[in-house]
Structure 1
Amino acid sequence: MQVSGGSTGIRVLDEETINKIAAGEVVERPASVVKELVENAIDAGASAVRVDIRTDATGVSRILVMDDGNGMEPDDARLAFLRHATSKITSGDDLQSIHTMGFRGEALASIAAVSRVTLVTKPNKSGSLAGIEIVVDGGEIISERETGAPGGTSIMVEDLFATTPARKKFLKRKPTELAHIYAVMEQCALAHPDVAFRLVQDGAEKIRTPGEGGLHNAVIALYGSEISRALVPVKGKTPYMRIDGFVATPSVNRPHAHQIAISVNERQISSPPLARAVRAGYGTLLPKNRYPVVFLAITIDTALVDVNVHPAKKEIRLSREDDVVRELAAAVRTALAREELIPEGHGPEQTSRPESSVFGGETAYAGVASPGGAYETVHTKPDAAVLPHRAITTTDIQLRLTEGRGGHQERSKLLPGMEIIGQVDDTYILAARKSGDHEDLVLIDQHAAHERVLYEQVLAKRGRDLTAQELLVPVVLSLRPKEAAAVRGARHMLMTEGFLIDDFGGDTFAVRTVPVVLGTQMPDGLIEDLIADLVAEHMKSAEGRKERITTVIACRGAIKAGTALSPDQMRRLLDQLARTENPWTCPHGRPTMVVFSRSVLDGMFHRT
């Protein structure tokens, strides 16, 4: 093979280009810088880490990370800017037993290659009052001097991606980039509850954890005492692994898996197999497409963990993954069983799909939803004497808001031969439908049916002014920094969907209006689900967000399972469902109804 300097031949890249390529793998956005520098501080034995962020109109303009760790001697400080210069491993054998967050010696060199970095450091045990300050611009040391400094290290990063404008062009808006920084700080604080973390943005404190060593204390500092009251302790131990932490009771759940926080050997990681193991531990306690809130710390023999599989060390490989997954699911299941949350028995089995039509058109979907498929389960009911009056009043308003033109005059044409029999468990509408010489039995899921009605009504108004309804009492929100950044970035879009949200500064907001189809009160769980969607990683496109918002509005605004309906209310709901373009499924894909034809019923009872 020939090494050539010609334009078409293979060439050896210069050091500057190599550093920029490495930076592209390690430094994706400002949050990547925060992550690498905070992890370096942790590896240096810091008991306290402060991150100071400065922003301007274009985004994050400065990142300053200060720690009280070991600090560095001048010679080590100079070497720190060289690629693959590290104090954490000495040979390839050390990769089999890594106990530090970093180990490649790439982070500082990669950051310095695409920014201006000022490092000030002094060994904690040094008797000298002076430390060393080194300034590196675009990978080149441009100044070095002695300076007064406390023990530890501070690193300031400015002009990020100045030497790689293409990367800077792909950064997201300021709220999005800040949300990523908040997420990194939360992950570090959960993985290292023995370290006191503080995040300050433009002079305002956003995150502070006590560093007292308990995961529970870190959770309270980050998420508040309300969520901590729903946590169940989890413990598990095998000869090669230990599991500690907390899982929330099933009533506290999210529409995405972003609050499944799992650390392995004090490294916060993303692991679909481990996340699935946690979900499996809940079994059918969680509704379909809902995810638990989890804070777990797993300690595994380092010889069984490979952390050198991802440039940013976000993923790991486990040599006994099946065993770990099984033990994790069992630990979660055991913890929930102690709380007497595991239900007895099993749901109904799947039945065949009889061919029948409900509204006289094409064949309806006639499968039975899976046992875990119900979006919402009501575990307790109000007093029986109070429920009917209260439910009917609320439901009348809901159905009136979603009533279409034409009303009941067209019911006989839209619902040929449909006769409502009653309601099963305040959840399913039971009806009979004439089909030739026989009748079919129809079960309608009232929540799924109303969900479909609301979904199509909101979609129909998109592109026009979506009428907003002022709430009787504005809903005040006190959010975490990551959530506040997401809401600020989406306020205009939310307003076009009918949500007027006032920003009071800091992390406090007030919701004043909602889409008119929701009435004058905020449905339970609506705003929590919307915010969770806004911060979810996959909700990047505006259209994707709008679609998800529509789905959440429909689901949270729909009549709930466990709501008693009058015969007239049931008829009105079926009338509205008949007018939709797709009456057979809810927006999540679950069937709105199950049809049992006469032939299927005969087969069930072994009639010939």
Structure 2
Amino acid sequence: MNDASHNIPSAHPAIRALDEAAINRIAAGEVVERPASAVKELVENALDAGARRIEVAQAEGGKTLIRVTDDGHGIAAAELPLAVARHATSKIDGSDLLDITSYGFRGEALASMGAVGRLTISSRVAGSEAAEITVTGGRLGEVRPAALRRGTVVELRDLFRATPARLKFLRSDRAETQAIGDVVRRLAMAEPFVSFTLADVSGGEERLSFRADAETGDLFDALHGRLTRVLGAEFTKNALRIEAEREGLRLTGYAALPTYSRGAAVAQHFFVNGRPVKDRMLLGALRAAYMDVLPSGRYPAAALYIDCDPARVDVNVHPAKTEVRFRDPGVARGLIVSALRHALAGAGHRASSTVGGAMLGAARPEAPASPRYQMDRPSAGARAATHAAQAPQPGFAEMAQDWSARVEPVEEAPRGAEETPPEALPLGAARAQLHETYILAQTQDGMVIVDAHAAHERLVYERLKHQLEERGVAAQALLIPEVVEMPEPGRGRLLDAAQDLARLGLVLEPFGGEALAVRETPALLGEVDARALLFDVADALEETGTTSGLEARLMAVLSRMACHGSVRSGRRMQAHEMNALLREMEATPLSGQCNHGRPTHVELKLADIERLFGRR
């Protein structure tokens, strides 16, 4: 057995105050965790100074150099010594920590950087001469004249030189460079009207790794342009515009279609009053909104902005200011879930363009034996005459029944009819069924291939969900109530949500001590392990504050029921059945993907098809 007594000092230790240098180094461990943390603090200072152009340079992952240049209002020469002092700031007066409208407010960043590296600040206020100050390992230098046209330049060299042990915990130069890039991109997403550049100056050569010029136009135009630059054109091409408001909270931004999902949670960005945050509650709300449209292991992509009165959110809960606490988190969560679900439902049958692109990428046209030529597309009259000349001879229709694909004749609309031709509808007119699984439909400018089983599965699922909403969840009473021991605080969360749980078919009540009695369970679940169910729901309540865990299990049951009740692969469908399926898909929310998140159809434009055959 180890003797723990060696940890007990032989003499009573004296209490003493730490010196300023030690205090600053300890604080730096919280504020400046890695080079990316320093970049974040310096860029936020530039934004608070009203900068419209910010240039960031780094060398060797920020370990040897971080330089941030801005065109903001600058710092007066007389205030430079105070700027690098701890808890000195121009952004708040300390009277109300709930009325914070700036990025920074603690006044710790510059002092912390000066304590663990060599910090130089050069600045110029309009109408005054430029000046600079240097802090090395916590030692303050003299204010001296400098050459600078406008704004501020902050250089941080040899980060953690005063605490060399911290260098051992940093990752490779490449990893730290990536982290700095992520920070700059997130702040660029937060401020679309500001120009940003990021350069790598390692080895004496400057390589521009990121540039985003200031956007123009209204908020959504600017966001669209900036998100295209940061997240890529594929994201904005397949993203839905989000705009909603509830009880003083306003939500804007873009969220991607379910079929544009990612393999990791790397494209989920939240901003609260312009501040990039990583909040567990907000991420949970995003997952809940996509709950039944994404398969396991896939993650939605979104850039969402919440704006509210600063008094409704506390940003002073983490040294790095990356976490927030809403005064009423339920309102924020409900706003995100309802707004995203409404937008996804409004997208209807739409699937991401990447699905068709992937199909075209997989297609490998055979190389032409002779040079390609441009063929003019024939007119509609010429196509009709050609089709008539190539009409199948008698006996072909009978032979077609032995083949997987069956071409359906085009039904001419009666004269005087004003109905929209099927080809003009989003999913077009059914022309054939391939391998008794896929519907081939023709549109005005291309074709659509539909997975009939996947599409019908989603349609049946949505019908079942609608019935569930109309009639509620039927509950089955247990012959003998099951008693479950549930320790606090899970027991309290369940009792607080008992009324909501009852609407979902789960009826419980206290049973003395830490026990709960389960009297009814959702009939859709059949026989359930009440104890496991309660613990799952309690975990969901702790994570998101809602009963989403039980809802997810109910939705999973409905999904399985829909799968078994859908059109099976291998069944031949008549033309009217295929067209009816297409029309219902167009009218049904979320029909662009099946219950497991896979696309239900692929659309190919005629121009893309012609390119495959060398016509373009």
Alignment TM-score, normalising by the size of structure 2: 0.54
> Partners of 2:227 and 2:322 in 1: how far apart?
21
Corresponding residue number in structure 1 for 2:297:
289
Residue in 2 that maps onto 1:26:
31
1:184 corresponds in structure 2 to: 183
When the two chains are superposed, the root-mean-square deviation of aligned CA atoms in Å is 3.3
Counterparts of 1:7 and 1:16 in 2: how far apart (Å)? Answer: 25
* Equivalent-residue separation in structure 1 for 2:432 and 2:135 (angstroms): 73
C-alpha distance in 2 between matches for 1:384 and 1:223: 38
- Cα deviation for residue 564 of structure 1 reads 8.0
Q: Which amino acid aligns with 2:121?
A: L
Corresponding residue number in structure 2 for 1:69 = 72
Q: Is 2:48 the partner of 1:43?
A: yes
Residues 426 and 563 of structure 1 are in contact (CA less than 8 Å); yes or no, is this contact kept in structure 2?
Answer: no
Q: Offset of 1:383 from its aligned partner?
A: 8.7
Distance in 2 between residues matched to 1:75 and 1:279, nearest whole Å: 50
Question: How far 1:201 sits from its partner (Å)?
Answer: 1.2
1:338 aligns with 2:346: yes
Deviation at 1:255, TM superposition (A): 2.2
Contact 1:210 1:217 in 2 (8 A): no
Q: Does 1:132 align with 2:131?
A: yes
Measured in 1, the distance between the counterparts of 2:72 and 2:178 equals 27
Q: Is the 8 A contact 2:437 2:453 kept in 1?
A: no
Quick check: 1:254 aligned with 2:284? no
* Structure 2 counterpart of 1:45, one-letter code: G
Shift of 1:147: 1.4
Structure 1 residue 210 and structure 2 residue 213: aligned?
Answer: yes
Corresponding residue number in structure 2 for 1:98: 100
Superposition TM-score, scaled by structure 1 size: 0.55
Cα distance in structure 2, aligned partners of 1:563 and 1:160: 63
For residues 284 and 85 of structure 2, the distance between their equivalents in structure 1, rounded to whole angstroms, comes to 40
Counterpart residue identity of residue 81, structure 2: R
- Which amino acid is the alignment partner of residue 131 of structure 2? I
Cα distance in 1 for residues equivalent to 2:272 and 2:437: 52
The answer (yes or no) to whether the contact 2:290–2:341 under 8 Å persists in 1 is yes
Instruction: Measure the CA separation in 1 of the matches of 2:453 and 2:16.
Output: 74
CA distances 1:83-133 after superposition (whole Å, capped 9, x unpaired): 00000111232x11100000010000001100001110001x22x4x3001
Task: Please say if residues 189 and 209 of structure 1, whose CA atoms lie closer than 8 Å, have aligned partners that are also in contact.
Answer: yes
Tell me by how many angstroms 1:305 deviates: 0.6
CA gap of 1:15–1:341, structure 2 versus 1, over 3 A, is: farther
Cα separation, partners in 2 of 1:42 and 1:166, compared to 1, 3 Å: same
Structure 2: how far apart are the matches of 1:135 and 1:279?
Answer: 47
- The partner residue of 1:225 within 230, 233, 242 is 233
Cα distance between partner residues in 2 of 1:385 and 1:293? 34
Q: 1:143, CA displacement in angstroms?
A: 4.2
Q: Which residue of 1 aligns with 2:395?
A: none
Q: Return the letter of the residue paired with 1:204.
A: R
Q: Share of identical aligned residues, percent?
A: 39
Q: Is the 8 A contact 2:247 2:331 kept in 1?
A: no
Select the residue among 29, 51, 59 that pairs with 1:54. Answer: 59
Q: Could you report, residue by residue, the CA deviation over 1:211-242 in whole angstroms, capped at 9, with x for unpaired residues?
A: 22511111111122222100110001124111
Q: In the alignment, is the contact (CA less than 8 A) between 1:119 and 1:135 conserved in 2? A: yes
Distance 2:114 2:431 in 1: 66
- Determine the structure 1 residue equivalent to 2:274: 266
Q: Which residue of 1 aligns with 2:503?
A: none
**In 2: Cα distance, 1:196 partner to 1:91 partner:** 31
Instruction: Give the residue type in structure 1 aligned to 2:164.
Output: P
Deviations, residues 390-446 of structure 1 (Å, cap 9, x unaligned): 9xxxxxxxxxxxxxxxxxxxxxxxxxxxxxxxxx9599xxxxxxxxxxxxxxxxxxx
Aligned-partner residue type, residue 132 of structure 1: A
CA–CA separation in structure 1 for the residues paired with 2:157 and 2:94 = 33
| 1:84 matches 2:87 | yes
Whichever of the two has the greater Rg, that structure is 2
2:65 & 2:142 partners in 1: Cα distance? 19
- The correspondence of residues 495-510 of structure 1 with structure 2, limited to 5 A, is none
1:197 aligns with 2:202: no
Q: Quote how far apart the aligned CAs of 1:342 are.
A: 9.6
Identify the residue that residue 319 of structure 1 maps to in structure 2. 327
Q: Classify 1:386/1:168 alpha carbon distance in 2 versus 1 (closer, same or farther; 3 Å).
A: same
Is the contact between residue 285 and residue 342 of structure 1 (CA under 8 Å) also seen in structure 2? no
User: How do residues 438-449 of structure 1 correspond to structure 2 at under 5 angstroms?
Assistant: none
2:170 maps to 171
- The residue correspondences of 1:542-553 to structure 2 (distance < 5 A) are none
| Distance apart, 1:341 and its partner CA | 5.0
Pair 1:114 & 2:113 matched: no
Q: 1:384 to 1:174 in 2, by over 3 A?
A: farther
> Equivalents in 2 of 1:564, 1:157: separation in Å?
64
Counterpart position of 2:607: none
Separation in structure 1 between the aligned mates of residue 156 and residue 270 of structure 2, nearest angstrom: 29
Instruction: Give distance in 2, aligned partners of 1:241 and 1:100.
Output: 18
Following the alignment from structure 1 to structure 2, what is the Cα–Cα distance between the partners of residues 182 and 383?
A: 50
Q: Runs of 5+ in structure 1 lacking a partner?
A: 1-5, 344-378, 391-423, 428-561, 566-589, 591-608
- Do the aligned partners of 2:25 and 2:112 also contact (CA within 8 Å) in 1? yes
Between Structure 1 and Structure 2, how many residues are aligned? 358
Distance change >3 Å, CA 389–CA 192, structure 1 → 2: closer
Distance between the aligned counterparts of 1:271 and 1:174, measured in 2?
28
Q: What is the CA–CA distance in structure 1 between the aligned matches of 2:568 and 2:77, rounded to whole Å?
A: 71
In structure 2, the CA distance between the partners of 1:135 and 1:37, relative to structure 1 (3 Å rule), is same
Cα pair 2:120 2:132 within 8 Å, conserved: yes
CA gap 1:14/1:122 in 2 versus in 1, 3 angstroms: same
When residues 106 and 383 of structure 1 are mapped into structure 2, their CA distance, relative to the original with a 3 A threshold, is: farther
**For residue 83 of structure 2, what is the amino acid of its counterpart?**
A
Query: Using the alignment, how far apart are the partners of 2:144 and 2:196 within structure 1?
Result: 29
Query: SS state of the match for residue 52, structure 1?
Result: strand
Amino acid in the other structure paired with 1:331:
A
Cα distance per residue 1:303-334 (max 9 Å; x no partner): 11111100101101111001110111111111
Task: Supply the AA of the counterpart residue of 2:278.
Answer: S
- Tell whether the 8 Å contact from 2:59 to 2:200 is kept in structure 1 after alignment: yes
